[in-house]
Amino acid sequence: MFKPFLRLITGFLLFFAMISSAVFYCVYFFDGDAFDALPEEREKVSKAALTDEPPKDDLSSYYRNGYGDDYSVICLYMTVRRGNKAENSDNDWSELGLHSTIWYRENNLERDRVECILQEGDETGPLPGMFGYGEINPNCVVNIRGATTSEAPLKSYTLYMKDGHSWRGQNNVNLNKHTYDPMRFTNKLMYDLMREIPGMISMRTQFVRLFVKDETQNTAADFIDYGFYTNIENPNKTYLKNHGLDPNGQLYKANNFAFYLDDALKPESDDDFDAKAFNRILTVKGSHDHAKLLNMLTDLNDLIKPINETFEKYFDYDNYFTWLAFHLLTGNTDTIERNFLIYSPLNSEKWYFISWDCDYAPIISREDLILKTRETNPNETGIKTYWPNLLHRRVLSYAPYRKILDEYIQKIRSYVTPEKIALKTAVYNEAIRGIVLNHIDTSSVMNGWRAVIELGDYSYKDKLYDNTYDLLYDALPDEYERYYQRYLDSLEDIMPYFLAMPVKDEDGYSVYWDPAYSFNEKRIYYQIEIASDVLFQEMIYSESDIVFPYAYIPLVFPKGRYFLKVKTYYEPGHYTLSNEETHVDGITYSGVFAFNIDENGEVY
């Protein structure tokens, strides 16, 4: 008879703890944006910080070392041979295509390599007077590169030049297939646009047609046409030097980095330092002194410190807001916790964003022309995209910074116009269309992405890739204005959040989730749904108009797999979902949290 009383007391304590944590969350996490009573000083933006002079990209680098013709397609020739065990290059060329980089990482193995003679020429072969002509000894080693793209049939490659050799002033050469980019020029377009925008740091690029001669099994082999690639400058100390930046500074490539102070991020002098664990979050491309990085993360993760103080100490307004506005307007959603670099000069506390791997932008999404490389996440739209990232969430929660972002959005719109996109892509198209529509690259792309075109009775067929290419090409210039509208819409929307695993007691389950947040003063409500199927057709429990981020389910579920969804809304019909994703039969379901119940009703 004490159970109802105990549950009442427990519920009261949970309610009190939830209210307390919600207040702390609002006051400190959002830096006072939800409370007008905080001091006006919290709303001020330092004028000095706004006028700090950031490092500038050396634009002359784009005309050195053989670069300068942005629209040409050069021919590179790779003669690959077995190497030696010391370099892990004593392999057959065919072995490099057997596994993805993900497979190597999961199995804790070094990527297989081969030795290579790299040469430059034209469609007829290597030419006298050009790079590598007449070489008889390997001048580099090669392995596959990329993340999910390395799972595609045709691979991307990184060439590591041997001592005494460099190509276009680079010790590492990246040849990217861009399998998931049906246009094949998106990455180059993005970097070419960045070069023209003050506050951004770009990279040198070059269209490439690649030919490979495999001598690992047959010394009498001929060169085989591997089709279209793009060379993207490799970010490292040489890159920093080439662009007039500090080669002795810190440079990290984000792999799974949302600016949280993870336990794996620690000084290399620490007895518990694990280089592989560190690199799963950040790859070190510059200095190995991580003290500056850790200082920044410590202050940023201290939610009691006002974000304006932390931001002005460690980040540059012009670089940060230019970078963020650019990727919002180009729809480059795959930049939440990867595909960017952070750089800090040696004698500075400031950190600067540099873009990396932009071939995911934009996703063409007109109602009559839909390209899907994966199921679109409704939370990856506008500023909702960046909400899971601690830095961006704290910055965007601060009203004065949202005003600054909007100013930069308008600035970037003057650089990224439909007219400019149409002009640049027309030249790209003329240079590469004949190459990318050959059978090699068409089959590669067909295996890497799936397009669905709905134009009246017109339906997509694999053999009509050339039609698809032209339709996507025609749609591209106008797509950027659509992303501007999504940015505007997201300012009125509810920001996404995360769910927690349900917690069982004797008679049911407690379900918690992060408090949702919006930039206006409308009251937010929650709706919870639990079903035994991912489509939520077999509903087990549903409750609406919840005002706090907690629900109690007075049921004990039998053994099985279940699916949880929590929606937030101002009024029914306009929902924001949580940031979870569940994958069933190869399909991604956004906003769905899957969990299992064992024979005792316990959650796992």
Q: What's the CATH number where 505 sits? A: 2.60.40.10
**Pairing of β 73-81 and β 205-214:** parallel
**Quick one: 299 exposed, middle or buried, by C-beta within 10 A (0-12, 13-18, 19+)?**
middle
- Using pLDDT thresholds of 50, 70 and 90, give the confidence band for residue 10: very low
**Quick one: 2 exposed, middle or buried, by C-beta within 10 A (0-12, 13-18, 19+)?**
exposed
- Using pLDDT thresholds of 50, 70 and 90, give the confidence band for residue 339: very high
Q: Are residues 479 and 502 in the same domain?
A: no
Beta strands in 222-346 (DSSP E): 224-233, 250-254, 282-284, 340-344
Looking at 473, 490, 507, the residue that finishes a domain is 490
pLDDT(31) > 60 = no
pLDDT(459) > 60 = no
pLDDT(556) > 70 = yes
Q: Judge whether 578 lies within some domain.
A: yes
pLDDT score of 364 = 59
Q: Which backbone phi and psi does 325 adopt, to 5 degrees?
A: -65, -40
pLDDT score of 303 = 95
pLDDT score of 586 = 79
Q: Give the global pTM.
A: 0.85
Mean of the pLDDT values across residues 329-353? 94
Are the C-beta atoms of 101 and 146 separated by less than 8 Å?
A: yes
Higher pLDDT, 375 or 486: 486
Q: Judge whether 32 lies within some domain.
A: no
Q: Judge whether 149 lies within some domain.
A: yes
- Using pLDDT thresholds of 50, 70 and 90, give the confidence band for residue 183: confident
Q: Judge whether 465 lies within some domain.
A: yes
Mean of the pLDDT values across residues 455-466? 37
Q: Judge whether 352 lies within some domain.
A: no
Q: Are residues 169 and 223 in the same domain?
A: yes
Exposure string for 226-254, b = 16+ CB within 10 A, e = fewer = bbbbbbbbbbbbbbbebbebbbebbbbbb
Are the C-beta atoms of 520 and 476 separated by less than 8 Å?
A: no
Q: Are residues 122 and 207 in the same domain?
A: yes
Looking at 466, 490, 514, the residue that finishes a domain is 490
- Using pLDDT thresholds of 50, 70 and 90, give the confidence band for residue 19: very low
pLDDT(541) > 80 = yes
Q: Are residues 565 and 506 in the same domain?
A: yes
Higher pLDDT, 133 or 17: 133
Q: Judge whether 84 lies within some domain.
A: yes
- Using pLDDT thresholds of 50, 70 and 90, give the confidence band for residue 190: very high
Task: Locate 43 and state its tokens.
Answer: 């709303």
Q: Are residues 227 and 170 in the same domain?
A: yes
pLDDT score of 573 = 67
Q: Are residues 482 and 498 in the same domain?
A: no
Q: Are residues 549 and 564 in the same domain?
A: yes
What is the residue range of 537's domain?
Answer: 494-597
Q: Are residues 506 and 477 in the same domain?
A: no
Q: Judge whether 395 lies within some domain.
A: no
- Using pLDDT thresholds of 50, 70 and 90, give the confidence band for residue 587: confident
- Using pLDDT thresholds of 50, 70 and 90, give the confidence band for residue 29: very low
Q: How many CA within 13 A on the CB side of residue 136?
A: 0
For residue 76, what are the β-bridge partners? 120, 210
Looking at 238, 259, 287, the residue that finishes a domain is 238
Q: Are residues 440 and 581 in the same domain?
A: no
Q: Are residues 429 and 576 in the same domain?
A: no
Which of 528, 543, 429, 487 has its CA nearest to residue 186?
A: 429
Distance CA 445, CA 271 (A): 46
Task: Locate 431 and state its tokens.
Answer: 């240079």
DSSP letter at 170? Answer: B
Which of 533, 504, 505 has its CA nearest to residue 594?
A: 533
Mean of the pLDDT values across residues 82-98? 90
For residue 228, what are the β-bridge partners? 209
Q: What is the mean pLDDT of the chain?
A: 84
Q: Are residues 431 and 574 in the same domain?
A: no
Q: Are residues 510 and 592 in the same domain?
A: yes
